[in-house]
Amino acid sequence: MTFAELMRFAKSNTRYSSTETPVSIPASAIGVNYGTLGDNLPPPAQVANFIKTQTIIDRVKIFDTNPDILRGFANSGIAMTITAANGDIPALTQIGYARQWVATNIAPFYPQTNIIRVLVGNEILHWGDESQVSNLVPAMRTLRDALNQAGYGAIQVSTAHSLGFIENADIPSMCRFRPMYERVLRPLLQFHRETKSPFMVNPYPYFGYSPEKANYCLFKPNRGVYDRGTRKMYTNMFDSLLDAVHIAMRVYGYGELGIVVGETGWASQGDAGLAPGMDNAIAYNGNLLRHVQSTGTPLMPNRRFETYIFALFNENQKPGPLAEKNFGLFWPNFSPVYKIGILRSEQAAQRQGPATPAPGLRPRHGGHHKRGAAPVPVAGKQWCVPKLGVSDQALQSNVNYICSQGINCQPVQAGGPCFEPNNLRSHASFLMNSYYQTKGLFPYNCDFAGTGMLTSTNPICPALRHV
């Protein structure tokens, strides 16, 4: 693609993103992958009760049609996505087999169990043999027909994909589906259009990790990656991967289709190489949780993505390296492996703000100050500012990150009420505090890779000191 072509793409893409119709999904749409490769896991009915009563999770994805799980989740209201085995795909192209599959795996449980979607196989284009790959779309169509005939037309049919089917994923505007998969993907996308079902992908920044990209992978402040083709700045790999898939779909003419994140997560411990570890798992999954609940991507700003974190439990019998056993959010006794705000009790504690408010005096004149007046500490309130000695490079990274997250940066731009004093530290102070006040008064929203701190001194510029 020439530079001129990139610029034309950017202009057309700007028009698209500004007029995009939001995709209607539930406000939370936070799901989890419920695997069962462990010999110490609790009964499914207990799992359903725990998810419903103790967490903000409202949907679950399983990798089979386990009848014990489907019975255990009856009357819970939790949205269930189930999976037909890869090996069933060739047979599912036959309507008789598809009807029997529905009679066995759907009819005994639905609608008491809130089955919303059936996935035909898992990552078939990556792992499937030729018979499974070539029969994928016919099997999806036949299963859809069988569901309709049984009166279960509200249940969607889809399939989950690894991102091995795209190339040039690092720069979204350059991303394309690999030519070898075109024969499957074009009819598959057409199926999704006809049935109004989502395209499901499994983006894993975990597998794209390198020390140089650590902050980019973990949603931490960083310089970002600028895409000349879209004229968008990317401050995290998750958004970049979703927009890369979106552009590949647009090239085929299916950019309006919804996207569901079927799997993403981070291992809390494991062998060296992909930086598994508790701190990284907390950073990635915690920031992911807040990100998908509050904003879209640079190219799809109005969308909210139904997202399934991998995984619910640490599974002690999963094959492979140690990390594979340690993607879970919870231990089998339901205690959290780490806390990211997914428990209802954590949400309640966070809403209360800091446990010990900073001491101080009430502001003069009801919080209003004359222009140029010295800041006055305010009782019970805290603001976010840069630490002393933070480099200009780090401050600029913070500014770039904040302005990419939907925070209003106009007040510190030329002509804005907080442009003066015109220096980077002043601008960064205003924006870091704006991020903290907007995203939630939690300490992690003032971390900024260790460059931020909470203070009882109001950093807001004099012109907006009343805020």
Return the active site residues: 123, 263
**Extended strands (E) in 163-314:** 166-167, 176-177, 199-201, 225-227, 232-234, 259-264, 307-310
Kindly state the tokens that stand for 244: 């890369």
**Extended strands (E) in 284-393:** 307-310, 383-386
Run of H or E including 160? strand 156-161
Run of H or E including 59? strand 59-61
Identify which of 120, 75, 129, 128 has the alpha carbon closest to the alpha carbon of residue 102.
Answer: 120
Question: Any long-range contacts for 429-433 (C-beta under 8 Å, 24+ apart)?
Answer: 429/385, 429/386, 429/459, 430/459, 430/460, 430/461, 431/398, 431/399, 431/402, 431/403, 431/407, 432/384, 432/385, 432/386, 432/398, 432/402, 433/383, 433/384, 433/385, 433/459, 433/460
Q: If 0-12 CB within 10 Å is exposed, 13-18 middle and 19+ buried, where does residue 176 land? A: middle
Phi, psi of 60 (to 5 degrees): -135, 140
Instruction: List, in sequence order, every residue forming a beta bridge with 115; answer none if it has no partner.
Output: 80
Residue 321, classed as helix, strand or coil, is: coil
Angstrom CA distances, 461 to 181, 322, 394, 421, stand at 55, 51, 21, 9
Identify which of 148, 231, 227, 165 has the alpha carbon closest to the alpha carbon of residue 200.
Answer: 165
